[in-house]
Amino acid sequence: MEIIPGYYSIKDTLGDIKKSPEGAAIIDAMMGQVSSAMGNMAEGVEITEAMQQMTNRFSVEKLLKQGGNSVKTEMIVAMNQQLAKRRSFCNRKLIHLMEVDKMITGVLMQA
């Protein structure tokens, strides 16, 4: 499975992916698919705010592994492919900060 630097993947946390509206939509769709795949096991389960905060620290990969045999390899690969189409919000922020740092350093060196 390909992990592309600067793009989301199943290695990223739910919380990081949900910072992007597109990422949040992908996660919401995934959660629906996982719930459907788990059938009656997921029925009536209420996710509290504390539980949501905890799961936001999980990688997509870790969360999908929690689904056991109900989550197929094809679903994991498809999820990674969907995520890989979107640039990582966190990485864009980091890259922007690095560019700002280079600009400041350049200006200071010229002074």
**pLDDT (average), residues 33-48:** 69
- In the chain, what percentage of residues exceed pLDDT 90? 17
Residue, of 46 and 74, whose pLDDT is higher: 74
Residues 15 and 56: beta-carbon distance below 8 Å? yes
Q: Which helix (H) or strand (E) segment is 61 a member of?
A: helix 60-66
- In the chain, what percentage of residues exceed pLDDT 70? 71
**What DSSP state is assigned to residue 88?**
-
Per-residue confidence (pLDDT) for residue 44, from 0 to 100: 67
Q: How many angstroms separate the CA atoms of 90 and 20, rounded?
A: 9
Per-residue confidence (pLDDT) for residue 43, from 0 to 100: 65
